[in-house]
Structure 1
Amino acid sequence: MAQVDITYLSSYYLVFEGKRGTSFNGDIALDDISVASGSCATQAVSTTTISPPLTTACKELYQIYCGL
């Protein structure tokens, strides 16, 4: 998780720019973005992401592309 303090004097835009690769290894994602007034918390809160298990077809593709 990342936090950013933004100091502004007038209206502003937030722009998220990403560059991805050509395979599934180049995936990008933005999730649970929020903007709030005030300063960021002094200590970041850690989160745990749990991925769902791979299906058989997905495992086969993973093995082919990753050489496993």
Structure 2
Amino acid sequence: MDFGIKDSIIAIITLDRNMVSSSTIPVFYANTEEQQERIALLIAKITMGMVHDLENGSYVVVRH
């Protein structure tokens, strides 16, 4: 079984509306930091993933 990094990324949550959406990874756009954090935490709960702050206005939810 071959696992790449894109197989582990569940979602990207960002404040940056200029971020290009991916054809394989869902990108969620938030209006505020509070909304971004809430979306990330809910997606992580639902998918049993972990939230990582990329410190560039984006969070990524991954499954380890």
Asked if TM exceeds 0.5, the reply is no
- Higher gyration radius (CA): 1
TM-score interval, smaller chain: under 0.3
TM-score by length of 2: 0.25
TM-score by length of 1: 0.24
When you count helix as a share of all residues, which structure comes out higher? 2
When you count strand as a share of all residues, which structure comes out higher? 2
